[in-house]
Amino acid sequence: MTTRSTRHAAAGDCAGKKTRPKWPELLAEFSVLVCIVIVPLSGCRTESALYETELIPYSSVQLREGDTVTISFPGSPNLNATQQIRRDGKIVLQLVGEVTAAGRTPAELEKELLKLYEGQIVLKQVSVSVQSSSYPVFVSGSVIHAGKIMVDRPLSALEAIMEAGGFDPAKANMRGVVVLRNEQGQLKHYVLNLKRVLEGKSSRILYLRPFDIVYVPERAF
């Protein structure tokens, strides 16, 4: 009677196991690869959380050269002034002379002015408001007219896309719009689901800052 070697049988079984495809593992690896390679084109990225200061126009935007600001002293109207920030980032005010305005937010400039005018004004109040500000933002990707937009008012990411002609209806992935922002040498990424905004399911609108880049990716499928 012919007997089969258990050693050979075991070896054959192992060989069979090695060549048998592991579809769940392969599918998982493929999903990870899709997220890594075509993240901007797919729904693998989740919407970024936004802080309150990023949802309010100009609340945290730093003043820049060329901006026109109005400075009001409620208790001393004779000190009121409206000036354009010079190329060196400064403005000139009565009693205190040159003051650096560029690089500060309106709130920070208010605090600085209160220190400079301490003892010279009776009512400890000062207000700094931006009258005009012009700066560039950039829109690229699946929009009708990609390019640079000069901004002279508070502008949200959605409004910037509309200024660029709107979404490309055949390609745009409105669920994964990316805003790139250089903040003190650090590159920040914001992922926005603007489809929810357009459908009225969300009111969280990111306001842009100077030199922000808005990128509208293509749909993956």
Q: Give 71-94 pLDDT, tens digit per residue.
A: 999 989 999 999 999 989 999 999
Encoded tokens for 83: 């000036």
pLDDT tens digits, 174-193: 999 999 999 878 999 999 99
CA dist., res. 58 & res. 106, Å (int)? 9
Residue whose C-alpha is closest to residue 154's, from 209, 107, 89: 209
User: How many other CB atoms are found less than 10 A from the CB of residue 185?
Assistant: 5
| Out of 40-44, 79-83, 147-151, 168-172, least confident range | 40-44
Whole-number pLDDT of residue 203: 80
| Domain 46-58+134-216 homologous superfamily, CATH | Outer membrane lipoprotein wza domain like (3.10.560.10)
Q: CA 88, CA 101: separation in Å to the nearest integer?
A: 9
Q: Write down the pTM of the prediction.
A: 0.58
Does residue 161 surpass a pLDDT of 60? Answer: yes
* Spatial CB neighbours of 207, under 8 Å, sequence gap ≥ 6: 54, 55, 56, 57, 58, 154, 155, 156, 157
99-129 tens-digit pLDDT = 999 999 899 999 999 999 998 998 999 999 8
End-to-end alpha carbon distance in the chain: 61
- Secondary-structure class of domain 69-130 per CATH: alpha beta
Task: Report the distance separating Cα 1 and Cα 18, nearest Å.
Answer: 31
Taking the C-alpha atoms of residue 173 and residue 165, their distance in angstroms, rounded to an integer, is: 15
Q: Where in the chain is CATH 3.30.1950.10?
A: 69-130
- The pLDDT tens digits of the residues spanning 9-31 come to 444 444 444 445 454 454 344 43
For CATH 3.10.560.10, the residue range(s) in the chain are: 46-58+134-216
What is the C-alpha to C-alpha distance for residues 84 and 20, in angstroms, rounded to an integer?
73
Nearest to 208 by CA among 107, 68, 49, 57: 57
The β-bridge relationship of strands 213-216 and 135-141 is parallel
